[in-house]
Amino acid sequence: MSDRSGDQPRPARDPGLQPERTRLAWRRTTLASTVAAVLAVKATLHGGVSVSGIVACGLCCGLWLAFLLLAHHRIHALSASASPAALAPRHATAAVLCAVATAVCAAALVVG
């Protein structure tokens, strides 16, 4: 076993196209979240406007904004250096929760 105590330099990382693929994945997910938010607004305005529809639409749009900020932060971090830091667990959790909650709100508006 080799000792990584800090005396030995780490080998240079060759990320290849991984950062670019990750940026594109964040952009695709942001686009899908945007579509869900737009459909939520459309579903709320179509037919009759109800208080529950407006609340769900507002929640969906708020979640979309939160995800957009998280995605922008991560895309910027990926572009800033050749060896970006790993995504913090709290940011990953927040991104997953925003994406899932946005999908649930949009589905509730479409079904309801």
Model pLDDT, residue 13: 56
Of 1-10, 28-37, 82-91, 97-106, the poorest mean pLDDT is in: 1-10
Q: How many residues does the chain have?
A: 112
CB 43 within 8 A of CB 109: yes
Task: Read off the pTM.
Answer: 0.69
Q: Is the pLDDT of residue 101 over 70?
A: yes
DSSP secondary structure letter of residue 22: H
CB 57 within 8 A of CB 109: yes
- Residues 42-97 pLDDT 10s: 877 877 778 877 887 888 888 889 989 988 888 888 888 777 788 889 988 988 88
Handedness of CA 16, 69, 93, 38 (dihedral sign): negative
Confidence of residue 6 (pLDDT cuts 50, 70, 90): low
